[in-house]
Amino acid sequence: MLNIALIGLGYWGPNLARNLAVLSGARLYAVCDQRTERLEYFARQYPGVKTMSNAAEVFADPEVDAVVIATPVQTHFDLAAATLRAGKHVMVEKPLAQTSKQCEELISLAEVQKRILMVGHVFIYNAAVRKVKEYIQSGELGEIYYIYSQRLNLGVIRQDVNALWNFCPHDFSILRYWLESTPQRVFAHGYSYVQPGIEDVVFVTMDFPNGVGANVHISWLDPNKLRKMTVVGSEKMVIYDDVSADAKVMVYDKGVAKKPQGELSLGSYETFGQFQLLLRAGDVLIPKIDFQEPLKAECQHFVDCILSGVQPMTDGREGLEVVRMLEAAQASLNGTT
């Protein structure tokens, strides 16, 4: 059994602890937080689990095999680097670090130490997200035209990061997973309403290879909780709705068909008059999805990769690419690109 320590018992910590406690091949060995009341609470919830008030205790404990880090973004690099130097595997909540340079250092350190470095891009382990990827890969949607995402909520307003760094790692990781590429250009515009200098609302537009466009609208200042992504293809269209209980994926047999008029030579149409556009509306399909909690699947994947020595789906390099996208969007927000 692998012994896993969890550092950080804030907003996301309870969810991680709950899943780490029921994994196959591993157990929740210790929890760490600077707040005494949080440690006391978790000690009652998980009898037998060690409590530690300093991360140095985690790194020094020879019984700890792996560490999961769920702390504020500005601490990710130092804690992850210390974990790897201590010879322990590590999974870091998104984003992997504050800069691409820090990500590169962590990747190099993991390679030297021969340890697993994984980032918590949890939506990659979501069965609905994977189902959409199947539709894209199969060609059933035809040529992908564009994708747009809406991640909105009147939720926790952060003071350490803006809405871009808080929410966009999810959408950016999903887009990379679906399109298997990195955007060639990134544009962003944001607005700070509640706290000066911290954007509450951000719009990001990206140009991906092959002419695929993408737009992400994020806000923690919106009346509706919305987590929806729409994929528009030449043959069919798909909506992924993470909030929906029974229709997380809907496939629309809709599109625009080009119908030739008269005899045409081989090759593309030369003038507008050579074709007419026909709107096509067919059935709507809601596929059956065997859904399990994505966070549990993510945590189990971390353990399985440690035991098998296989690199995670969301390894350090994947974390690096998402941070590069965040940096590009932030530079655009700042007006430096």
pLDDT at 57: 97
Domain range enclosing 68: 2-121+294-310
**Same domain membership, residue 279 and residue 134:** yes
**Same domain membership, residue 44 and residue 181:** no
| In a domain? residue 63 | yes
pLDDT at 283: 85
| In a domain? residue 194 | yes
| Cis, bond preceding 62 (omega within 30 deg of 0) | no
pLDDT at 276: 59
In angstroms, the Cα distances linking 210 to 150, 176, 204, 254 are 23, 14, 19, 22
Contacts (Cβ under 8 Å, ≥6 apart) of 73: 95, 97, 98, 160, 161, 165
**Same domain membership, residue 38 and residue 103:** yes
**Same domain membership, residue 160 and residue 27:** no
pLDDT at 84: 98
pLDDT at 159: 85
**Side chain identity at residue 84, one-letter code:** L
CA distance 58 to 34: 13
Q: Is the whole-model pTM more than 0.95? A: no
What does each of the 337 residues of the chain score in pLDDT, given as a tens digit?
Answer: 999 999 999 989 999 999 999 999 999 999 999 999 999 999 999 999 999 999 999 999 999 999 999 999 999 999 999 999 999 999 999 999 999 999 999 999 999 999 999 999 999 999 999 999 999 999 999 999 999 999 999 978 888 899 999 999 999 999 999 999 999 999 999 999 999 999 999 999 999 999 999 999 999 999 999 999 999 999 999 999 999 989 999 999 987 776 655 544 445 555 555 455 667 777 899 999 988 999 999 999 999 999 999 999 999 999 999 999 999 999 999 988 6
Q: If we measure between CA atoms, which residue out of 37, 73, 34 comes closest to residue 158?
A: 73
Q: CATH number, domain at 240? A: 3.30.360.10
**Same domain membership, residue 227 and residue 190:** yes
| In a domain? residue 318 | no
**Same domain membership, residue 162 and residue 50:** no
Q: Residue for token digits 């966070």? A: 295
**Same domain membership, residue 93 and residue 165:** no
**Same domain membership, residue 188 and residue 91:** no
| In a domain? residue 195 | yes
pLDDT at 272: 52
**Same domain membership, residue 116 and residue 39:** yes
**Side chain identity at residue 114, one-letter code:** K
**Same domain membership, residue 300 and residue 284:** no
Number of domains in the chain: 2
**Three-class secondary structure of residue 71 per DSSP:** coil
| In a domain? residue 229 | yes
Q: If we measure between CA atoms, which residue out of 223, 154, 162 comes closest to residue 196?
A: 162
| In a domain? residue 225 | yes
